[in-house]
Amino acid sequence: MATAAPGEPRAAADHRDLEKRTGLLREGNDEVGQLCLFIDAEKAAEDNPDGYSVSLLCRVLDVPRSTYYAWLAARPAAVVRADAEDELADEIREIHANSRGAYGAPRVHAALRRKGHAINRKKVERIMRERDIRGITRRKRRHLTKQDAKAAPAPDLIGRDFTASEPGTKLVGDITYLPTLAGWWYLATVIDLATREVVGYAMADHHRAELVTSALRMAAGRGELKPGCIFHSDRGSEYTSAEFRGELAELNLRQSMGRTGICYDNAAAESFFGLLKAEIGTTVWESHEAARADVFRFIEVEYNRTRLRKHPEFGYLTPLETRILLQQDLAPAA
């Protein structure tokens, strides 16, 4: 309680003290909920015998008593909602952290739905925005493509249609570099366009034809490729080499190529590399072995098996789940 000046009534002193104490509150945030919260904290009660009467607090703050009591009655439900939202925010942080900070609201929302939450995507967006939880932004990619002027390029058989209805019918391949303290480390991948699964990959300290050939052989061994399957890439000399083209012929695959330097002609393959570098987050690796380990873990543990991607028919699934579903749909009836 305020101390009254000589000759000043106690009520007037209380009123003057409250005006001073609530001045900052009025300037900073005059929402009804904040005012009611202030009233609740300052009112006289058993645990606050020096507090003020609700009538005085409401009069000074210009809040109707009925409004305060309505707020007070609704407060338990609001507290429960706030606690539930805090728990949800913790779960969102866990999902976000498990994705190496890569997931934005759409994939976080999908992950929550997969865990049984009936939740609106806008609510997820709001919670992430209020708590500054953000997905990562991909770095710009440097291209390695060097065309062999003497080698004839293959025709473009996919025309930027990076979709497929059946696994093992359309593949895309590309090469990227990973900087390490021991020098460049190169990664070649083969991605199935029906599932976006990385079905083949190879790593080395060079990007000669044997690198992309090794990745293709892995894809053939695990990707259940169909006869006449299309393999699409840029016009890099690795892909026009006799070694690589010989492997394509042996596997009964058809070669397809986009134009040199046109990233959109092989967008699916390039998009994966942007994703890998952004989600791993390392700028320079300490060694080739460290880069190899990170890439292996990202492809085999995270990307193929746990990373969600929106399929136009099935919704958010991992590449492995997409392959299993498509294979089930295509299996002959018993």
Question: pLDDT tens digits for 173-206?
Answer: 999 999 888 889 999 999 999 999 999 999 999 9
Q: Kindly report the CATH number that applies to the domain delimited by 170-309.
A: 3.30.420.10
pLDDT value of position 274: 86
CA angle 269, 325, 136 (to 5 degrees): 40
What is the distance of C-alpha 39 from the center of its chain?
Answer: 42
Query: Which helix (H) or strand (E) is 123 found in, with range?
Result: helix 121-130
pLDDT value of position 194: 93
Instruction: Count the alpha carbons within 13 Å of 34 in the hemisphere toward its beta carbon.
Output: 9
Instruction: Kindly provide the b/e burial profile for residues 192-204, where b requires at least 16 CB atoms within 10 angstroms of the residue's own CB.
Output: bbbbbbbbbbbbb
pLDDT value of position 1: 45
pTM value > 0.75: no
Structure tokens at 49: 């015998």
Counting residues of the chain whose pLDDT is more than 70, the rounded percentage is: 81
pLDDT single digits (tens) 310-319: 777 778 899 9
Per-residue pLDDT band for 144 (boundaries 50, 70, 90) equals low
Per-residue pLDDT band for 27 (boundaries 50, 70, 90) equals very low
pLDDT at 228 over 90: yes
pLDDT value of position 331: 57
User: Average pLDDT of 75-94?
Assistant: 80
Structure tokens at 225: 């490729």
The residue count of the chain comes to 334
pLDDT single digits (tens) 257-298: 987 655 556 778 888 988 888 888 777 898 999 999 999 999
Per-residue pLDDT band for 28 (boundaries 50, 70, 90) equals very low
